[in-house]
Amino acid sequence: KLQWFLDAVKAHPNELKLVGAHCHLGSTITKVDIFRDAAVLMVKYIDAIRGQGFEIDFLNIGGGLGIDYYHTGAVLPTPKDLIDTVRELVVSRNLKLIIEPGRSLIANTCCLVNRVTGVKTNGTKNFVVIDGSMAELIRPSLYQAYQHIELVSPPSPDAAVSTFDVVGPVCESADFLGKDRDLPTPHKGAGLVVHDAGAYCMSMASTYNLKMRPPEYWV
């Protein structure tokens, strides 16, 4: 497959110029060893490509560094850790390194602030209904992503805690922000925060069901 691609580039020298190599490993990666393994493989490809006369200037190792979505206090690798892991290989081939660390830099810089519009039960499950929805933050309903959820006001020490699904007002059974969350029973109008909304949230928001996108405030 690589040779077929290189032959196609050679056949169109005026339209195509091969200048780098790129890979993508996945999302919410918590260990940087995988980037080292990928770099080893990628420099082999680059050596083969250069062997056919192409001037490869850069390696884009991609992104995927995760954050502590579950708020466990885990210490996760940083973009610098990623760079340090592949530095020797990149330098040995005189390559420029490109990384895509967006989520790890901005995911925990934003949150979605909501108000509770009601609490209800169907007899077997309890629900906290909020004015936010899958239209503003689709990650949980789209691919069951976990977002940490808290009430704005700290509960009293003796507050009773129940298990709730946190849901929105959109007429979709998939309109939820969190399932099986242990929370004090909130009152109508209480503030509720969905944390870590800085990546893949507003960029994926919609106006579904005539829901307007929420305003953004910089603090």
Predicted pLDDT at 215: 93
Instruction: Report the C-alpha dihedral over residues 174, 179, 183, 188, rounded to 10 degrees.
Output: 10
Predicted pLDDT at 157: 84
Q: For residue 178, what are its two tokens?
A: 């969190």
- Sheet with strand 96-100: strands edge to edge: 20-22, 58-63, 96-100
Give the Cα separation of 104 and 65 in Å (integer). 6
Q: Name the catalytic one among 110, 111, 171, 201.
A: 171
- For domain 109-210, give the CATH number: 2.40.37.10
pTM beyond 0.85: the answer is yes
pLDDT tens digits along 63-93: 999 999 999 999 999 999 999 999 999 999 9
CATH of 2-102, one of 2.60.40.10, 3.30.160.70, 3.40.50.2300, 3.20.20.10: 3.20.20.10
Instruction: Name the stretches of the chain with pLDDT < 70.
Output: none
Q: Say if CB 25 and CB 65 are below 8 A apart.
A: no
Tell me if residue 171 is catalytic.
yes
Q: Say if CB 116 and CB 130 are below 8 A apart.
A: yes
Listed by start position, the domains of the chain span 2-102, 109-210
